[in-house]
Amino acid sequence: MELFGSYTSPYVRHCRIVFKETGIAYSLTETDHDMSAKLSPAKKVPFLHHNELRLFDSSSILKYVREKNGERFFADTTDYDQYCLVNTAMDATINLFLLSKEGVTPENNGYMKRQQARVHEILALLERRDHAVAYEGPHPFSDGELRLGCFLSWGLFRSLLSLDEFPKLQAFLDKINDYPIFADTHPSLKD
């Protein structure tokens, strides 16, 4: 299996973690914006080539790899909802990050102000929840938790988030950082 993406992408990181958890062999081809625009109709990373199969979103890649290994993709509906919420916050944060490079910021654009509020409200909701306490799967963390960890870690790595007002999320990130597979895929590292 060939996974296309970047070491810094939180979406790619989640895929890399799942490949490591399942033990399924893969290679990572580092891909930039230009290459992903040429090779993926979604014009983003990650995407996967496996024989004749082409998958163009991290969610379909994760589902494929988990099921190929005989695992379920989500622990339950609540875990799936968390995954979806984190995806929304992550997409909004990525928009904030990329558009700020072009001078479009919450200070000068109403849409970006809404994106910033969306991220804050989702973090506030997730702060009120318990994390990493009741998952009974084959690995220490569920996919909803892995997604949250990838997002928080990436947001701090890029200096786009502060967890100062979210101590439970910081405690969760500290805990998931103790998981070797998670720690070994930090955006600053290449495996």
If pLDDT is split at 50, 70 and 90, which confidence band does 138 have? confident
pLDDT in tens, 34-87: 999 999 999 999 999 999 999 999 999 999 999 999 999 988 999 999 999 999
Query: pLDDT for 164-180, tens place per residue?
Result: 999 999 999 999 999 99
Model pLDDT for residues 100-114, shown as the tens digit of each residue: 999 999 999 999 999
Which of the residue ranges 69-78, 92-101, 155-164 would you say has the lowest mean pLDDT? 69-78
Instruction: Give residue 158's pLDDT.
Output: 96
CATH 3.40.50.10260 fits 2-68, yes or no: no
Residues 115-124 pLDDT 10s: 999 999 999 9
| Location of each CATH 3.40.30.10 domain in the chain | 2-68
Length of the chain, please? Answer: 191
Query: pLDDT band for position 190 (50/70/90)?
Result: confident
Amino acid (one-letter) located at 59: S
Contact call for residues 87 and 147 (beta carbons, < 8 A): yes
Contact 64, 48 (CB under 8 A): yes
Sheet holding 2-5, edge to edge: 27-30, 2-5, 47-50, 53-55
| Start and end residues for every CATH 1.20.1050.10 domain found in the chain | 77-183
Residue 142 is which amino acid? Answer: S
- The CATH number of the structural domain formed by 77-183 is 1.20.1050.10
Nearest-angstrom CA–CA distance, 92 and 49: 27
pLDDT band at 131 (very low <50, low <70, confident <90, very high): confident
Rounded CA separation 73/21 (Å): 13
